[in-house]
Structures are given as structure tokens and as C-alpha cells.
Amino acid sequence: MEVDEAMRRMGGLATRGRLILVTSRAEVDAALRRGVVVRASHGRYVLPDLDAAAKQAHRVNGHLALTSAALHHGWEVKSVPVVPHVVFPRRRNVPRAWRDEVVLHRADLGPDDVSGVATSREVTLLHCLRSLPDDEALAIADSALRHGEEATLRRIVAQVRGAGSAKVRRIARAADARAANPFESVTRAICLQVPGLDVTPQVVLSTDHYWACPDLVDHEKRLVIECDSYEWHGNRAGFIKDVRRYTLLSADGWTVLRFTWDDVMLRPTWVREVLCRATGVDAQTEAHAAWPVAA
């Protein structure tokens, strides 16, 4: 896998160790020399698009918002936006040339609502939970929790009012810092669309025959869901080890479902249909789910 593609699949941000695991040390060093990725801090890399987005928001006298602001704050996202999301005051005239360079949003922000070139962490998280599709919002909420924003999320839930507040609270309840990455978060968002399916991230399963920490587990249904593909194991030995672990889980009565990044991100309806079949839910006649079905 190319380094830039690996970065995008990991949500636009990655540690050096993780990048090397899914590519190689030589490829990562070469990508740094070419500017394919840039060093954000010690051992942590970002795509050059992120620096460009901040410069663009500053140039047009706006603030990064939504997904672009989440990336600016160091939170991984489902997909890196092609052009930055930028918010402007409601009454400000935005030249047409600038509108072609950004995804334009309107909001009147106070001094405490911004942090440098982006909306503040609290405003960013609130806007994402309120405005983004559920799977994108959950990926960002999970990432924010992984990066220590529990208090921020609690304040949002306590203070949110008005249109979209029910959605904000619903996603906040589902957010979980144990989610390893956006791939896993989006998979869990699909699981939340399946009535009766209750998955928990990164649960340890241990017996005399195996030790496993699957991505998602429903204990009651004895269902294991892995967000998986060959290249993410890093090497052949890791791949073989996981295959043996899945086999032992199956032999112990667990149903093991493995989904690739491409299916989760590009074919979510198909993934949901598979989950419905695995759990005995009629995907065609079941009209109501915990979460709306993704397009």
C-alpha cells in the first residue's frame, strides 16, 4: 500500500510506527523526502493537505470547520476532505472565487468559539456531531475521546439544545475511546443500524485454547467482527497468526465476520445486510433501526 493511501485510510493522521507497519521504513522515509507526508510532531505524521487547509482558511479570512477542524485538532476522520471546510460569519460577503476553493459554512462565532485558524475543540465536536452523517460523526467522536476529550464531550451533551440535539446526544452515548481507528468506528456505526446487535470494541476473549482481542464483539450473540485486510497485519506471520485465532474462535462457537476497508467505506448497505443475515434480522422488512441506514 502506498504511504499516502495508508494515511488516508487511517484518517489523515498516523504515527511513524503504524505507517511503517503497513508499508515499510524505506517507503515512509522516501515519502517524507518527497513531501507526500509531513512531520507534525515527533513520531506523528500528517498529509500535506492539512497544512494547506489551514493556510487556505487563513487566506480567505475564515476558520476551519467540521472535518477540517477535527483534523486540525489532531482527530482522525472517516475521509480527508478534498477541499477544506471553512466557516464564515453569516452576513459576510464571500467572493465567488473563494467559494470554489472551500466548502462554505455560515455561523457567527464568538471569541471562545475559535482556536487559532479553526473552530475550538468544543465547537468543532458539537458541529460534527450535529451536522455530519452518523458514521463520520461517530468516527470523530471516538477519535476525540481517544485524544482525551471526555470532558469536552460531557459539556456538549449537558449544554446542547435545539435542532439536532437528539442526534448529538445519541452519537455521544455511542462514542467509545476504545475504538482503534475510523475504519472500526464506521463499522460500529453500521452495526448500530442492526436491531438487537450490541457490539463492544476491543474486547479480550481468552480460554485455554486462545487469546484474542477482536475489533468488535457481541457477547450475547457470540459474534466477532474484524475490520480486516491482509496488508494491515504488517507481515505474513501476523496474517497467519490471526487466521489461526479466527479458526479457534469459530471452533469454540463464535461466528467470525471479517470486513475489508473497501466494503465498510464503499458498500455499507451490503455490510449491514450481511450483519442482518448473521443475526437473524430481516433487512428488507425491518423498518426501524437504532441508527439511520447509510446511503
pLDDT tens for the chain, 295 residues: list them.
789 888 888 888 888 988 998 889 999 999 999 999 888 878 888 888 888 898 899 889 899 999 999 999 999 999 999 999 999 999 999 998 888 899 999 999 999 999 999 999 999 999 999 999 999 999 999 999 999 999 999 999 999 999 999 999 999 999 999 999 999 999 999 999 999 999 999 999 999 888 999 999 999 999 999 998 655 555 677 777 888 888 999 999 999 999 999 999 999 999 999 999 999 988 665 544 555 544 4
Domain end marker among 139, 174, 209: 174
Whether 65 is covered by a domain: the verdict is yes
Question: Do 58 and 164 fall into the same domain?
Answer: yes
**Within 13 Å, how many C-alpha atoms sit on residue 122's CB side?**
15
Question: Do 22 and 138 fall into the same domain?
Answer: no
Are the beta carbons of 69 and 131 closer than 8 angstroms? no
Please count the structural domains in the chain.
3
Q: Which residues contact 120 (CB under 8 A, 6 or more apart)?
A: 112, 113, 114
Domain that holds residue 213: 182-279
Cell 485524544: give the residue.
147
Question: Do 193 and 144 fall into the same domain?
Answer: no
Question: Do 139 and 151 fall into the same domain?
Answer: yes
Question: Do 190 and 259 fall into the same domain?
Answer: yes
Question: Do 206 and 222 fall into the same domain?
Answer: yes
**Smallest Cα–Cα separation from 194: which of 286, 89, 122?**
286
Domain end marker among 114, 145, 174: 174
Whether 289 is covered by a domain: the verdict is no
